[in-house]
Amino acid sequence: MPQTRELQFQTAQIRKSIRTFRDYSDDLLRSDLSTFTDRLQALMYFCRTDPVFSTIHRQLVDNPNVDGEQWLREQGETARLSGLRFPVDPDQRISLMYQLLAAGEENPENLIGRLPLWYPLSTSSVSAYIHAFAEGVMAPLFRELNYRLQEIEEKLPADRGEAVSATSLQIIHIESADFRSQTFNVQGSRNFQIGDQNSQTVFDVTIGDLVKRIDGSSASAQDKADAKDTIAKIFENRS
């Protein structure tokens, strides 16, 4: 039986991929309603398809120690009062944060539509909710990933052309992580189901569903009205 060839990258290739990730993630942090969808999809497309970064993408999206759909359901109505709550374990924390972005890639409108359910803002500005999401999820995620990417960079050889094993790109601690294959299908994951047209995703909701959830919450009448107004504006701005 032939042996599987170990996946390797050149040092210069790894450094370039890390630099590109930082550029795209910085762009996304500065986004508003007019740029959020474009920048989110650009970042996640890069993370999924780049030969180097897809190795990191697989670890975060397919972390067997978290169940994204179950975690999101458990947030329930308390999220609007206290915001999204993530596990204290660093690996589980960044995995779930990253999975929110991965799930939002295919349908950013539904991700944006959920923001009023997660953040108790006193405004109907959609951009304000995007900024709240950036502060609560994206900024801490990118900060922690950059810490870990910096550790990877510090261990790279000085020779830009030297080959480095993909095992050096392990960013979360999963003993069973397999770096030999570059093919990843999130539809088979226990986490957020993305792109499966045969089943409803955690973000596959209508404006009517969102309004019903707002009406059924324990928020004040004014908070409910503000949330409905924000959601209406989001759907009015759909492309």
Is the distance from CB of 75 to CB of 112 less than 8 angstroms?
no
pLDDT value of residue 233: 62
Whether the pLDDT of residue 197 is over 90: the answer is no
Is the distance from CB of 217 to CB of 80 less than 8 angstroms?
yes
Beta pairing partners, 163? 10
pLDDT value of residue 77: 55
Measuring CA to CA, how many Å separate 106 from each of 37, 122, 202, 204? 10, 29, 12, 10
pLDDT value of residue 120: 82
Average pLDDT for 39-57: 96
Domain locations along the chain: 8-170+201-236
Across 99-113, 140-154, 183-197, 220-234, the highest mean pLDDT is recorded for 140-154
Average pLDDT for 124-150: 95
pLDDT value of residue 239: 44
Please give the Cα distance from 81 to 151 (Å, whole number): 36
pLDDT value of residue 1: 47
pLDDT value of residue 138: 98
211/161: higher pLDDT:
161
If you average pLDDT over every residue of the chain, what do you get?
80
Q: Give residue 178's pLDDT band: very low, low, confident or very high (50, 70, 90).
A: very low
53/117: higher pLDDT:
53
Whether the pLDDT of residue 150 is over 70: the answer is yes
69/9: higher pLDDT:
9
pLDDT value of residue 189: 39
Task: State both tokens at 99.
Answer: 């999975």
Three-state secondary structure readout of 145-198: HHHHHHHHHHCCCCCCCCEEEHHHHCCCCCCCCCCCCCCCCHHHCCCCCCCCCC
Please give the Cα distance from 179 to 173 (Å, whole number): 13
How many CB atoms neighbour CB 32 within 10 A? Answer: 14
Whether the pLDDT of residue 192 is over 60: the answer is no
Task: State both tokens at 119.
Answer: 């953040």
Name the residue among 145, 106, 109 with its Cα closest to residue 130: 109
Whether the pLDDT of residue 108 is over 80: the answer is yes
> What is the pTM assigned to this prediction?
0.75
pLDDT value of residue 163: 87
Name the residue among 58, 50, 152, 64 with its Cα closest to residue 102: 58
